[in-house]
Amino acid sequence: MFNLKKYRVSSKWKKNRKRRLAYDSGECQGMVIRNGKLAKCLSTTNVDVHHKSYERLGYEFLDDMVVLCRRCHRAEHFRLNKQDYRQLSIDFDPI
Ligand SMILES: [Zn+2]
Ligand SMILES: [Zn+2]
């Protein structure tokens, strides 16, 4: 089983997440409603790099990750929690 707890504090993850942070210019890519319209969040405070896919943990493609601010990240995991995480062969506390 992939040890996500160890990975999330590793220099390898730091390097991988940095690639995505640079790609997104450190801006949250989450979608929010702004002035009644769906718009990109683009917040730069409290940003995390979220995994869109856990298939390539440790050697993520750029597209396996996305920058999300804490609020959008929480919303995304709330949405994902409704799906079945148990199918994933990783330990918990997903990034
Ligand atoms: Zn996440
Ligand atoms: Zn956001």
Give tens-digit pLDDT for 37-76: 999 999 999 999 999 998 999 999 999 999 999 999 988 8
Partners of 33 in the β-ladder: 38
Instruction: For residue 51, report the distance from its CA to the centre of ligand 1, in Å.
Output: 5
Instruction: For residue 91, report the distance from its CA to the centre of ligand 2, in Å.
Output: 26
Asked if residue 94 is part of any domain, the answer here is: no
Asked if residue 92 is part of any domain, the answer here is: no
Asked if residue 93 is part of any domain, the answer here is: no
Q: What is the pTM of this model?
A: 0.83
The pLDDT confidence band at residue 89, using thresholds 50, 70 and 90, is very low
Instruction: For residue 37, report the distance from its CA to the centre of ligand 1, in Å.
Output: 24
Q: How far is CA 33 from CA 25, 39, 67, 73, in A?
A: 21, 6, 18, 15
Contact 67, 49 (CB under 8 A): yes
Domain of 13? Answer: 4-87
Asked if residue 95 is part of any domain, the answer here is: no
Q: What is the pLDDT of residue 91?
A: 45
Q: How many domains does the chain have?
A: 1
DSSP state of 64: G
Question: What average pLDDT does the structure give for the chain?
Answer: 87
